[in-house]
Structure 1
Amino acid sequence: MEKIEEQFANLNIVKRSLRTKEPTYLLGIDTSKTVQADKGSLAAVLCSKGSIRIYDKERLNILREFSGYPGILNGVKFANSHDSVYSSCTDGTVKCWDARLASEKPVQLFKGYSSNIFISFDINCDDHVICAGTEKVDDDALLVFWDARINSQDLSTTKDPLGAYSETHSDDITQVCFHPSNPNMVVSGSTDGLVNVFDISVDNEEDALVTTCNSVSSVSHIGWAGKDYKQIYCMTHDEGFCWWDLNHLDTDEPITCLNIQNVREGINMKEDTLDYLIGGLYHEKMDRLFIVGGTNTGVIHLLSCSATGLVYMCSLQGGHSATVRSFCWNVQDESLLTGGEDEQLLLWKPGAVEKTLTKKGSMKIASSVYQRVRVHGNDSYKKRKKQ
């Protein structure tokens, strides 16, 4: 644990993105899995105005921007084997662009069913299957699936769904996350408080449901952890944290490793505060789960997760001036990308020194941003809890 703490604490800013004409929150970050010697690596950033910006990861200059207009994009993810970048859209599609092409038109369009509004998605580890979650419309909240493979005999750029799951969530599906190495395992989270694990190799939804965990709150983030990634964790919109061990499904041991309804209470932050959680990172070599959180003034905190609770480790200061909304931490090359409500995209590396130490001030953004950053209601899971 000391090594990861030292690695995180030694990070310094080497580059800041330039301010753009139209202010926007930076809500999500992913980096390309492939690197070309002459072109380097790419970073894709989800913006609150409903678009995705493609950056040169090292220089942080914007190369191009993709829009979901008239819909709003939700989530951002690079393919695992090529430079395609995906996002779900409120217009009832999942869109795929070639991140190295300047064309604004998606190279692939995955169409949902009538009235679908997609607010979450993921693509599995072999790039074969896409799954997207919908807002609740009438009584339906769906997980919709597509075959993402490119068929050389079918050059159509539009694909229809393979099918959908409709019985396991009763409200907006805010999160979808495939297993890092098993292409058939996927976990979903919802404002109904439920976190569901599926094996999609099974024919029907009822049998595909491996287990249901209840966070007793509206789910904001989910991920996989543990040896062979047989654990799942989730964060909630009211800053709760839950952690479950799927190894215990067929034993008498409880599957709940940790359940904290409000992480802002009861954690020793020494001289600082913890205002919110951003996301998690499972470190394979150390077999440890780490949580990243922050303050409303832009300080980033690293927490260690164990069965006894969350423990504060160290902080990064002097970077952001407002709430940090997203991060992408590459443990292999020890780099960290962070984005926030101050419009800044920052690149951190160990022991580096920033050439220009200009810190951008906090921004006030028009109300359209607040419409984009949706606050989910808790009525659904409260009703379920009473039942």
Structure 2
Amino acid sequence: MESLVEKLRGLSVARRSRPKTPTYLLHAALRPSGPLAASCSGFVIHLHDRHTLDPLGQYRGHTGPLCGLCFAHGSTQLLYSASADGTVRAWDLRSPGTGAAQLFSSDASHCFCSFDLNCSDTLLCAGTEQVNDEDSFLVFWDPRKPDGRPLGVYSESHSDDITQVCFHPRDKDRLASGSTDGLVNVFDLSRGAEEEALLLTCNSDSSASSVCWSGPDYSQLLCLNHDQGLQLWDTVQLDTDQPLTIFSSSDARSLTLLPDGGSLDYLVGGRWLEAAEKLLVVGGANSGDLHLMECDSGGLRLLRSLTGGHTSTVRCFLWDAAGEALVTGGEDAQLLLWKPGRKPPAAEKEESMKSESALKLKSRPHKKHRYHREKTGRNKD
């Protein structure tokens, strides 16, 4: 049987989708079965067929930049999103185009820049931008409660924008957070108060851009930073004398990874591929080329470079294990489906290439920004 790594090496573009209005594609989410969701810089969420990328509908309601998407794990009906407008919203997948089924909010000063839902669908968490030049907050809600009011906040563990919150895939009470203050924290929420819940603090030596759980039992943490550095830690070593760091690079772009002697321009993110027991790290070039790498204690190793797809910076990716496909989205307004051994129809490829010159947008893939909401009003569905 062909290994998953071999399938990655055989990927080519199978489908392309481009919204009518040129816009950045920022985040993507996928259930084990069901539609694909993608958010864009126009504050809109698009639903697509996971196999064809055909549009299935969209959701509008957020009034600020979106900071993430997440499907409910135990329900086939709900999609969650969070935004710098200070709200987390639940959308009914049975009714695309309608308003939010539920709205969660907190203090009027909060602008969210990260969020996640735990594996039991019992807890939502959003991280805020820095408030009053000194504070940032982790805000928690129970999505089963209809009032949308927070259960509480953590306020002492970060001092700058909380760019990532990531629940453990199997432990509903384990949460990792990363911030532009350079810290990555791990909490056991079952312990209650923030001081007791904080299990581990790691220093990423730079502004953290993304964090993900990895390893066979999801006991490892991968952190990418805004300077394109990478750290991989083993949380099992927390109570031992062994070092936490499995691998570290202050700048992955300096590593000689590519056959032609070139290097990366940026890192997109990481994902643990459970079937292959590999940690996949995706990087790219400003031209749109993608580089798929595996990461472990030996460092980064190139698996495959993907060309002929995107024409600008890639912002998001996900691996569809059931469909054996890679999905990517970027600043060229393209959502791409990559499958082993597939080639796009000639007409479809030609059409997408013609529109390349229509979008000349350049940006760092993890650009820190400030979004200021009106203090006196809030959009509600």
TM over 0.5: yes
Pairing 1:272-311 to 2, within 5 Å after superposition = 272-311=262-301
Pairing 1:257-336 to 2, within 5 Å after superposition = 257-271=246-260, 272-336=262-326
One-letter amino acid of the counterpart of residue 36, structure 2: A
SS in 1 for 2:45: strand
* Shift, 1:66, TM fit: 1.8
Q: 2:377: which partner in 1?
A: none
One-letter amino acid of the counterpart of residue 31, structure 1: L
Identical amino acids, percent of aligned pairs: 44
**Higher mean C-alpha displacement, 176-185 vs 96-105:** 96-105
SS in 1 for 2:100: coil
One-letter amino acid of the counterpart of residue 134, structure 1: T
One-letter amino acid of the counterpart of residue 150, structure 2: P
One-letter amino acid of the counterpart of residue 10, structure 2: N
Task: Measure the CA separation in 1 of the matches of 2:366 and 2:274.
Answer: 32
Q: Does 1:12 align with 2:12?
A: yes
Q: 2:203: which partner in 1?
A: 214
Task: Measure the CA separation in 1 of the matches of 2:102 and 2:27.
Answer: 21
One-letter amino acid of the counterpart of residue 349, structure 2: L
Q: Structure 1 residues 113, 372: CA separation in 2 closer, same or farther (over 3 Å shift)?
A: farther
Pairing 1:1-387 to 2, within 5 Å after superposition = 3-20=3-20, 22-33=21-32, 35=33, 41-82=34-75, 83-138=77-132, 139-149=134-144, 156=146, 158-271=147-260, 272-355=262-345, 356-358=348-350, 359-360=352-353, 361-362=355-356, 374-375=367-368
**Higher mean C-alpha displacement, 136-145 vs 313-322:** 313-322
* Shift, 1:372, TM fit: 11
One-letter amino acid of the counterpart of residue 88, structure 1: A
Q: Structure 1 residues 203, 327: CA separation in 2 closer, same or farther (over 3 Å shift)?
A: same
* TM-score, normalised relative to structure 2: 0.89
User: Can you list the C-alpha shifts for 1:195-218, whole angstroms capped at 9, x where unaligned?
Assistant: 000011112100100100010111
* Shift, 1:376, TM fit: 6.0
Task: Measure the CA separation in 1 of the matches of 2:97 and 2:214.
Answer: 37
* Shift, 1:118, TM fit: 0.8
Q: 1:153: which partner in 2?
A: none
* TM-score, normalised relative to structure 1: 0.88
> Is contact 2:185-2:202 (8 Å) kept?
yes
* Shift, 1:370, TM fit: 6.2
Task: Measure the CA separation in 1 of the matches of 2:187 and 2:366.
Answer: 28
* Shift, 1:57, TM fit: 1.8
* Shift, 1:302, TM fit: 1.0
One-letter amino acid of the counterpart of residue 242, structure 1: Q
Task: Measure the CA separation in 1 of the matches of 2:67 and 2:317.
Answer: 16
Task: Measure the CA separation in 2 of the matches of 1:88 and 1:328.
Answer: 19
User: Can you list the C-alpha shifts for 1:161-214, whole angstroms capped at 9, x where unaligned?
Assistant: 000000000000010100001100010000000000001111210010010001
User: Can you list the C-alpha shifts for 1:270-289, whole angstroms capped at 9, x where unaligned?
Assistant: 11431111111212243321
> Is contact 1:5-1:314 (8 Å) kept?
no
Q: Structure 1 residues 62, 183: CA separation in 2 closer, same or farther (over 3 Å shift)?
A: same
One-letter amino acid of the counterpart of residue 176, structure 1: V
SS in 2 for 1:242: strand
User: Can you list the C-alpha shifts for 1:256-298, whole angstroms capped at 9, x where unaligned?
Assistant: 1112110000233111431111111212243321211111111
* Shift, 1:373, TM fit: 6.8
> Is contact 2:124-2:140 (8 Å) kept?
yes
Equivalent residues, number: 362
SS in 1 for 2:3: helix
Specify every segment of 5 or more residues in structure 1 that has no aligned partner in the other structure, as ranges: 36-40, 151-155, 378-387
**Higher mean C-alpha displacement, 309-318 vs 240-249:** 309-318
* Shift, 1:313, TM fit: 2.0
User: How large is the Cα RMSD of the aligned pairs?
Assistant: 2.2
One-letter amino acid of the counterpart of residue 228, structure 2: E
Task: Measure the CA separation in 1 of the matches of 2:166 and 2:357.
Answer: 32
> Is contact 1:222-1:232 (8 Å) kept?
yes
SS in 1 for 2:349: coil
Task: Measure the CA separation in 1 of the matches of 2:116 and 2:5.
Answer: 30
